[in-house]
A and B are shown apart, each in its own frame.
Chain A
Amino acid sequence: EAQVTQNPRYLITVTGKKLTVTCSQNMNHEYMSWYRQDPGLGLRQIYYSMNVEVTDKGDVPEGYKVSRKEKRNFPLILESPSPNQTSLYFCASSLYPGGFGANVLTFGAGSRLTVL
């Protein structure tokens, strides 16, 4: 089944304890991205990657890191989590950067993170 897989789905952690949210897609997609969703704010982009080894900041990159060493994986790293990073996180991918129509962004199931 074609999908974007995120892990963990739920996590409660404490301030300052490094964590990684993994994201993997099996659709050979070039483009991958991370979003966070907060009540009343919709979804906001954290980082994106046009291709392997090519990443760039989105709207809210502070406190996050990413890497794209291989096409299928795009982990999100919180080096020193803080309570304001408590949120619902989504990884998403699409076939290629640019273009429209069939180039739909497919989302993972989401990872709910709580930082105490």
Chain B
Amino acid sequence: AQKITQTQPGMFVQEKEAVTLDCTYDTSDQSYGLFWYKQPSSGEMIFLIYQGSYDEQNATEGRYSLNFQKARKSANLVISASQLGDSAMYFCAMREVNTDKLIFGTGTRLQVFP
């Protein structure tokens, strides 16, 4: 069965520093998509970045980049130059091919301090 594992329940980072949020996944599919979502305290789910399993380059979106290591089945999110507004819950997810279901990890709570 497909599974997403986020081993860091909480992370702290100082403003302007970079932080890496870990995500490992398990799937037997050859084709899959990996996503990161941000959930601020207001509760909404905000899409951040996507990586396809056949993409040869790591995805980047502004200050977000995805460190994709296919052989290790990891898809870590890197946030550069952290801002106070980055404080939120972050979820890694994988999209299942047949049902389009997004399978979520349990999330990492990031707190950025001044």
Chain A residues close to B by CB (< 8 Å) = 31, 33, 35, 40-45, 48, 50, 56, 58-59, 88, 90, 92, 94, 97-98, 100-101, 104-110, 112
Interface size on B, residues (CB 8 A): 24
B76-114, CB under 8 A of A: which get 1 and which 0?
000000000000000101010101111011110000000
Do B43 and A45 touch (CB < 8 A)? no
Do A48 and B43 touch (CB < 8 A)? no
Contact of B104 among A43, A101, A112 (CB under 8 A): A43
Interface core residue of A40, A41, A45 (most chain B CB under 10 Å): A45
A20, B44: Cα distance in complex, Å: 20
Task: Please give, as numbers and ranges, the residues of chain A lying within 8 Å of B68 by CB-CB distance.
Answer: none
Do B44 and A45 touch (CB < 8 A)? no
Chain B residues close to A by CB (< 8 Å) = 4, 31-33, 35, 37, 43-45, 47, 50, 52, 91, 93, 95, 97, 99-102, 104-107
A42, B39: Cα distance in complex, Å: 11
A44, B97: Cα distance in complex, Å: 16
CB closest residue in chain B, given A40: B106
A33, B50: Cα distance in complex, Å: 19
Task: Please give, as numbers and ranges, the residues of chain A lying within 8 Å of B91 by CB-CB distance.
Answer: 42-43
Do B44 and A107 touch (CB < 8 A)? yes
A96 to chain B, nearest CB (A): 9
CB closest residue in chain A, given B95: A100
Knowing A40-B106, A56-B99 are in contact, say whether A101-B50 is a contact too (CB < 8 A): yes
CB closest residue in chain A, given B42: A109
Task: Please give, as numbers and ranges, the residues of chain A lying within 8 Å of B33 by CB-CB distance.
Answer: 100-101
